[in-house]
Amino acid sequence: MRALALAALLLALLPSAALAAAPRTTLPDVEDELMCIQCGTALNISQAPSADQERQLIREGIAKGLTKDQIKARMVGEYGQNVLATPPKRGFDLAAWIVPGLLALLALAAIALTARRWRRVGDLRDGEAGPDALDADDASRLDRDMAGYDL
Partner 1 sequence: MRWVVIAVAALLVGLLAYGVASQGSDTTIESALSQGKRVPAPDSPLPRLGAAGKGTVDDYRGRVVLVNFWASWCPPCTQELPLLQRTQRMMAAKGATVLGINTRDASEKALAFVHRFGLTYPSLRDGSGDFAERWGLTGYPESFLLDKQGRVAAAIHGPLDQRWIDEHVKPLVDRGA
Q: What does the binding site for partner 1 look like in residue numbers (CB under 8 A)?
A: 37-38, 49-50, 52-54, 57, 77-83, 99, 103, 106, 109-110, 113
Q: Where are the alpha helices (DSSP H) in the chain?
A: 2-21, 27-31, 49-63, 68-79, 95-127, 136-147
Whichever of 16 and 47 has its CB closer to partner 1, that residue is: 47
Question: Cα separation of 87 and 34, whole Å?
Answer: 10
Whichever of 2 and 90 has its CB closer to partner 1, that residue is: 90
Whichever of 52 and 143 has its CB closer to partner 1, that residue is: 52
Who contacts 50 (Cβ-Cβ below 8 Å, separation ≥6)? Answer: 36, 37, 38, 39
Whichever of 37 and 66 has its CB closer to partner 1, that residue is: 37
Smallest gap, in angstroms, from Cβ of residue 36 to partner 1? 9
Smallest gap, in angstroms, from Cβ of residue 104 to partner 1? 11
